[in-house]
Amino acid sequence: MKLILLGAPGAGKGTVAKMLTKIDGAVQISTGDILRGAVQAGTELGKEAEAYMKRGDLVPDELIMGIMEKRLQAPDCEKGFLLDGFPRTIAQADALKALLARLGIELDMAVNIDVPREVILDRLTTRRTCANPKCQAIYNVKSSPPKQEGVCDKCGSPVVQREDETEAAISHRLQTYSEKTAPLIGFYEKEGLLLNVSATSSDAVIAAIQAKLGL
C-alpha cells in the first residue's frame, strides 16, 4: 500500500503507520524521525533543522523535499510506503505530486486521522519518546508506560519528553498544524484520494483503512 497519513500532532499517525507495516511489508517513512535522527547525529541536515524543530516550526520545504526525493527511490519503497508527517504544507503536497508522477508511482489514498483536540492535548503532554535515534519508540506515562520507568522496553535507552513537547511548543505545533497542514485535507479531497476516519483508537483506524483497500 502507498498511503499518506494526515492528522494533527498526536493523532496517532506513527502508531497507525507502525501497525500497517506489519500488514503488507510497506515501510514507514516519518520525516520527524528522520530529522530527529539527523539532529542527534549532528549532520548538516540536522544542524539546519534543529532550531525550527525546537520552536515547533516547520523545517523549510526544500530541505524536506531533498530528503523525500532520495527516500522514495530507495529499494525498500517498492513494496509500498506509509508517509507519516509528510507532506505538511500545500507546497510539499504539490512537489510530492510532481515527484510521484516523475517516478511513475501512484498513491492509494491519503488517510486523515481526525481526533478531538482535548485528546490530542492530553496525549502530547503525556507522550514520552525513546532517546535512541535508531529506535524512537513511543510511550505514554498514563496509557502505555515502559515496563521500567524511564527505560525503553525495546532497546534500554532513556525514555524522555521531546524538547518540542513542552506546553508552549505544543500549542505552537498545533497552531502550525491548523494553518499549514489542515488545508491538505481539502487538497486530497479534490484529488479524490481522501479517506477521513474519526476514531481515537488505532485499531479502528486500521480497520477503516483495510476495509477501504479491501484487505
Give catalytic residues, as residue numbers. Answer: 13, 88, 127, 162, 173
Residue with smaller CB distance to ligand ADP, 94 or 211:
94
Q: Is residue 110 within 8 Å of 93, Cβ to Cβ?
A: no
Contacts with ligand ADP, residue ranges (CB under 6 A): 9, 31-32, 35, 52-53, 56-59, 64, 85-86, 88, 92, 164, 173
Residue 195: contacted member of ligand ADP, Zn ion, none (CB under 5 to 8 Å, by partner type): none
DSSP state letter for 133: T
Q: Are 107 and 97 in contact (CB under 8 A)?
A: no
Q: Which three cell numbers stand for residue 194?
A: 481522501
Contact 157, 135 (CB under 8 A): yes
Q: Which is nearer to Zn ion, 42 or 150 (CB)?
A: 150
Which of ligand ADP, Zn ion, none lies near 35, with the C-beta cut-off 5 to 8 A by kind?
ligand ADP
Burial class for 161, CB neighbours closer than 10 Å (0-12, 13-18, 19+): middle
With vertex at residue 83, the alpha carbon angle to CA 135 and CA 209, rounded to the nearest 5 degrees, is: 105
Does residue 23 belong to the site contacting Zn ion (CB under 5 A)? Answer: no
Q: How far is the CB of 86 from ligand ADP (least distance, A)?
A: 4
Minimum distance between the CB of residue 13 and ligand ADP, rounded to whole angstroms? 6
Least gap, CB of 35 to ligand ADP (angstroms): 5
- For the bound state, the minimum distance from the C-beta of residue 40 to Zn ion, rounded and expressed in Å, comes to 13
Q: Please state, in angstroms and as integers, the Cα–Cα distance from residue 63 to each residue in 47, 52, 58, 66, following that order.
A: 12, 12, 10, 5
State which of residues 82, 130, 194, 206 lies at the interface with Zn ion (CB under 5 A): 130
155 touches Zn ion (CB under 5 A): yes
Choose from Zn ion, ligand ADP, none: what does 130 bind? Cβ within 5-8 Å by kind.
Zn ion
Q: Binding residues for Zn ion, how many (CB under 5 A)?
A: 8
> Contact between 154 and Zn ion (CB under 5 A)?
yes
- At 116, the amino acid letter reads P
Q: Which option in Zn ion, ligand ADP, none does residue 135 bind, with CB closer than 5 to 8 A by kind?
A: Zn ion
Distances (CA, A) of 50 to 9, 10, 53, 54, 200: 18, 20, 5, 6, 31
Give residues in contact with Zn ion (CB under 5 A).
130, 132, 135, 137, 152, 154-155, 157
